[in-house]
Amino acid sequence: MTPRFRFRRLPDGTFGWMLLGGNNRLIGMAAAGAPTPARAVSGAELARDLAATADIAFTVADDRLWYWRLLDAGALIAVSASGFARKLDAQRAARRFIRAAGAAHVQLGVVTVPDRVRERPGPSRTGAR
């Protein structure tokens, strides 16, 4: 399976894209939501077009993990989906995003998350088996 951009409705009512790898793992996502699905698709296409030439910035957040950010002329385009313990791992993840974004196709449709999952009060599984 090839990398692809999927779309979802964000908690604030806007639409965002996420880049999934061929193994269905989340690689990166839109830095901000778009007011309509069509604008979210345009944002994903922009990320795909700019990925190879855009600037990548690395930051350490309050959780002491490294995150990458994709910038075009100072405008934030995409962010890492998770934090990394080492800067080296964040750099590898950014390169993985760049490679995947360049080959990704846009998968139309908005993914919905059922309320029972979105409003779950705790983890879906317990540690004991």
pLDDT in tens, 36-68: 999 999 999 999 999 989 999 999 999 999 999
Task: Considering only residues 120 and 123, tell me which one the structure prediction assigns the higher pLDDT.
Answer: 123
Q: Phi and psi for 28 in degrees, rounded to 5? A: -165, 170
pLDDT > 70? residue 33:
yes
User: Which of 19-28, 39-48, 117-126 has the weakest average pLDDT?
Assistant: 117-126
The mean pLDDT of 10-32, rounded to a whole number, is 92
Pairing state of beta strands 4-9 and 105-111? parallel
Tell me the CATH number of domain 4-114, given options 3.40.800.10, 2.130.10.10, 3.40.50.2020, 2.30.29.80. 2.30.29.80
Q: Which of 79, 32, 34, 17 is nearest to 54 (CA)?
A: 79
Q: Which pTM value belongs to this model?
A: 0.82
* Confidence band of 110 (pLDDT split at 50, 70, 90): confident
Sheet containing strand 75-80, strands side by side: 55-60, 66-72, 75-80, 26-30, 15-20, 4-9, 105-111
Looking at every residue in the chain, the average pLDDT score rounds to: 88
Is the Cβ–Cβ distance between 78 and 29 less than 8 Å? Answer: yes
- Assign 119 a pLDDT band (cuts: 50, 70, 90): low
Judge whether 17 and 43 are in contact, CB under 8 Å: yes
Q: How many CB atoms are closer than 10 A to CB 111?
A: 10
What DSSP assignment string belongs to 45-109?
Answer: HHHHHHTTTSEEEEEE-TTS-EEEEEEETTEEEEEESS-BSSHHHHHHHHHHHHHHHHH-EEEEE
Residue 117 has pLDDT above 50, yes or no: no
Q: What does the pLDDT average to over 82-91?
A: 96
